[in-house]
Amino acid sequence: MEKYLVSRESVPENPKRCNSSNRWKRSVVELNGRFESKYRHDLSALLMQSYSQIGAFPHLYHVDRVLCPTHEGIVNSQRSRAGDVAMIDHRRSFGKPGISALDFDCKGIYLVSATRSGCLTVHDFESLYYQCNGTLPGVGLKEDQSKHLLHIPLPQQLDAVRWNLANQDEVACASTRSNVVSIYDIGYISDEPVEVLKTRRSVTVVGSDVQKGLSDLAFSAVNTSRLIASDTHGVVNIWDRRVGVLPSLELSTGSHGTLNSIQLHAENQIIFAAGKHGSIYLWDLRGGRTSAPFHNHKEVCHLPLTSLKLASMLEKIGTLKAQSKIVSQEIHSIDLDPSCSYQLAFHLDDGWSGAFDVYNSRVTHIHCLPPAPLAWLN
């Protein structure tokens, strides 16, 4: 029987040990359910890096060999989990003729900017980036004006700018000092807009004209002919560009405060607006009291379906109320989370920011500035 047995290979007296760096081991999370401090530190560093500034681009363009009067201002570009984000450095541009509005196109290739001195510019973002971040550290390239897709100095302050979601050749701009929306086609190098939309004339009880300005813009991604703008008199204006240059519908807040920001939700049928009085307003174009806006032209003005006072919702957070004095503040801007459609982010005039659940009408996240240092510490 021994001839059918397979002999066992001889085992060396001193076997080689496996390299410990290649050995598999269970993570600490699997063993005790807790993250290692090093792991938390690495994740925090990665998160901070994802929101860190990757470029600052001075606005130093020329018109007919003369420095553009709107040169003061810095564009800060940041990269986040949601993609490229363009922001304005208000520390440099506040109170100055600096950059007042920015918007990336749908693919993040082009960036349009507007300034308080009236300069409308469309940048190739890659060229803009390499212009200010040359091959050598700290050395930027000279300005190449041929890379500007559009650069128009206008005779008025600009406060809002947006790409047309349905036609990426079009950009629209507006001013809080004018009741006009100007639409430009970047395919045509012309100082003249291809279309100009105006708000309806309003008068006071004594017969004087109401001076309206436009504070924010939004294009519908579903209805290619619809454009929406909020104004400084508490109204959201909606144009059907197939009909004419005047709004087909006016959504009123019932007050005369400035609406600083607007957002479209639920297939562009729900409109959110917020502004000076610290309230979030909602109009639903699908049903309710604000339904069928383009079917009943006899009723021109529509009140909101609901309005929510943000300060009242913040007071419902007991721990926040116990630590901070909550007062009504102007809402500087609102924006919908692209990865979570029911979360509406807000930023207040005093620096507070947070997120609002549009379905449950409650604040789910809040970030507050630290309290001012005590006088005796100074």
pLDDT digit string, tens, across residues 34-70 = 667 777 777 777 777 666 655 566 666 666 666 665 5
- And the tokens for 304? 């909101």
Q: Which CATH class is domain 52-317?
A: mainly beta
d(C-alpha 261, C-alpha 311), whole Å:
18
Mapped onto helix, strand or coil, the DSSP state of residue 72 is coil
Give the DSSP letter string of 334-357. EEEETTEEEEEEEEETTS-EEEEE
Phi, psi (5° rounding) for residue 303?
Answer: -80, 160
Amino acid at site 96: K
Parallel, antiparallel or unpaired: strands 270-275 and 259-265: antiparallel
pTM, two decimal places:
0.73
* Dihedral, CA of residue 152, residue 153, residue 156 and residue 162, to nearest 10: 30
Distance from C-alpha of 218 to C-alpha of 344, rounded to nearest angstrom: 16
DSSP 321: H
Q: Which residues of 244-298 form beta strands (DSSP E)?
A: 249-252, 259-265, 270-275, 279-284
Question: What is the band of 295 on the pLDDT scale with cuts at 50, 70, 90?
Answer: very low
Q: Which residues contact 167 (CB under 8 A, 6 or more apart)?
A: 224
Mean pLDDT check: name the lowest of 5-14, 99-108, 267-276. 5-14
User: What is the arithmetic mean of pLDDT over 136-164?
Assistant: 73
pLDDT one-digit tens code per residue, 154-171: 888 999 999 999 899 999
Name residues whose C-beta falls within 8 Å of residue 128's C-beta, 6 or more positions apart in sequence.
57, 75, 111, 147
DSSP class per residue in 153-169: E-SS---EEEE-SS-TT
Q: Is 219 helix (H, G, I), strand (E, B) or coil?
A: strand
Nearest in space to 314 (alpha carbons), one of 283, 282, 348: 348
Q: Is 331 exposed, middle or buried (0-12, 13-18, 19+ CB in 10 A)?
A: buried
Cα separation, 351 vs 349, whole angstroms: 6
- CA-nearest of 164, 183, 185, 166 to 174 is 183
Answer yes or no: are the C-beta atoms of 171 and 162 closer than 8 Å: yes
CA distance 278 to 230: 15
Q: 264, 228 in Cβ contact below 8 A?
A: yes
* Nearest CA-CA partner of 354 in 373, 371, 337, 372: 337
| Residues 318-345 pLDDT 10s | 988 888 889 999 999 999 988 888 999 9
How far apart are alpha carbons 131 and 327 in whole angstroms? 45
Amino acid at 79: R
The number of angstroms, rounded, from the C-alpha of 368 to the middle of its chain's C-alpha atoms is 20
Give tens-digit pLDDT for 100-126: 899 999 988 899 999 888 889 888 888
Residue 146 has φ and ψ, to the nearest 5°, of -70, -15
**Radius of gyration (C-alpha) of the chain in whole angstroms:** 28
Amino acid, single-letter form, for residue 323: Q
What's the pLDDT at 374? 47
Q: Is-contact 88 111, C-beta < 8 A?
A: no
Q: Which of 249, 218, 251 is nearest to 334 (CA)?
A: 218
Distance CA 140, CA 148 (A): 17
Three-state SS for 300? coil
Average pLDDT in the chain: 77
How much is the average pLDDT of 188-210?
Answer: 82
